[in-house]
Amino acid sequence: MQAFRTTLARCVAACGTGAGALAVALRDAEPASNLGLPSTGPASKLVHELSFGVDPALASDFKTWLATYLKSLLQLPGMQGAKVLAPATPFTPTPGVVFVLGGPGAGKGTQCGLIVEKCGYTHLSAGDLLRAERKSGSAQGQMIDEYIKEGKIVPVEVTVKLLVDAIKASGAQRVLVDGFPRNTNNLSGWQQVVGDSLQLGGVLFYDCPEEVMQERLLERGKTSGRSDDNIESIKKRFTTYLNETMPILQYYEHQGMVHKIDGTREVDDVWADSKAAVATMERRFVASDQAAVAVHVYSTDVPPTTSEAVVARVAKAAAQQFGEGKVSVTGRALLIDSSLKAYDLDALRAFD
């Protein structure tokens, strides 16, 4: 008995601990094409590991359907059983943000207003938040005042805190971050503070020549009361935009994240493009918001059963039930290489 315990301990040590140990007991069935050939020896056991991406709105219906569907799948020859694995922590979708960039007066705020109205997004303008903070009269408020009049970019610690606090307070799932990030300091500050806690759907970029923007801002300056809607500040804002914000746009362009929109046209025409861009970003959000479900299906390799065939069969059934694109299915086959049993631990036998 002691010898057995020692061997078992060595096995467990060799395999690692926890979830890793379970994973080691299953090795990739290779090459995959072998699974399609008639087996010559005694039947081996296979685990078909299926991963589902499910539209969160369908998560509950999917769960119900999956249980019934798996029962029918298990009627097929060679199929022996299945386990549905749930994530240990409940799935919560990551809130999505869209950066809105463009020169001063390009129409960022105007288009954001429409996106809020028609698409239900929450709008947070970095400039508006800074202007509100300026009113506080604190030392920080005076510093912000100087930066805005000079068309300079306020240090990122201030702006990111205002933005992140406002995003948290809003509790929104979709947020337009207007007029940010404006330079590399903004970008790195955002990435450090936000990390993966928010997902970026893309960047709306309103492209507009300086003459048009200047005319709009001077017109607005007659009534806006903004300390930077005067010709001196406007010129400085243009320079800052060209030197510091354009590189940020190029950075995101390289990543294929920018939706460039001609901002010189009538508001409604610009809106048509904004709407299409938001729809594209929404598809990106939905794809990454999909709740993850995993299933292990156990079969023998007699008759031969390829993972591709199982995935294709399950994907077809899911598409018939929920519609194309609502449930994604991927999978692979694993051979059971060796199996370890928990010794004297009844509870752990449930995993076998």
Work out how close the CB of 125 gets to ligand UP5 at its nearest, in angstroms, rounded to a whole number: 6
**Cα distance from N-terminal residue to C-terminal residue, the chain:** 22
Work out the burial of residue 241: count CB atoms within 10 Å of its CB; fewer than 13 is exposed, 13-18 middle, 19 or more buried: buried
110 binds, among Mg ion, ligand UP5, none (CB under 5 to 8 A by kind): ligand UP5
Q: Verify binding: residue 285, ligand UP5, rule CB under 6 A.
A: no
Work out the burial of residue 301: count CB atoms within 10 Å of its CB; fewer than 13 is exposed, 13-18 middle, 19 or more buried: buried
107 binds, among Mg ion, ligand UP5, none (CB under 5 to 8 A by kind): ligand UP5
Segment interacting with ligand UP5, rule: CB under 6 A, options 39-47, 105-113, 320-328, 335-343: 105-113
Q: What's the CA gap between 100 and 163, in Å, rounded?
A: 14
Work out how close the CB of 192 gets to ligand UP5 at its nearest, in angstroms, rounded to a whole number: 15
Binding residues for Mg ion restricted to 96-135, rule: CB under 5 A? 108-109
Cα dihedral sign, 276-281-286-287:
positive
Of the CA atoms within 13 Å of residue 120, those in its CB half-sphere come to: 5
Contact 148, 134 (CB under 8 A): yes
Work out how close the CB of 101 gets to ligand UP5 at its nearest, in angstroms, rounded to a whole number: 8
Rounded to the nearest 10 degrees, how much is the dihedral formed by the CA atoms of 23, 27, 32, 34?
-150
Q: Which is nearer to ligand UP5, 180 or 285 (CB)?
A: 180
Binding test (CB under 6 A) with ligand UP5, winner from 26, 97, 124, 153: 153
267 binds, among ligand UP5, Mg ion, none (CB under 5 to 8 A by kind): ligand UP5
Work out how close the CB of 237 gets to ligand UP5 at its nearest, in angstroms, rounded to a whole number: 5
Binding test (CB under 6 A) with ligand UP5, winner from 47, 148, 200, 329: 148
DSSP strands (E only) in the chain: 26-28, 45-54, 79-85, 96-102, 122-125, 174-178, 199-207, 258-262, 291-300, 327-336
* Total of residues contacting ligand UP5 (CB under 6 A): 30
| Closest residue to ligand UP5, based on beta-carbon distance | 127
Q: Return the number of other C-beta atoms located less than 10 Å from residue 171's C-beta.
A: 8
Q: Which is nearer to ligand UP5, 133 or 289 (CB)?
A: 133
> Which residues of this chain interact with ligand UP5, rule CB under 6 A?
102, 104-110, 125-127, 130, 147-148, 151-154, 159, 179-180, 182, 186, 216, 220, 228, 237, 266-267, 270
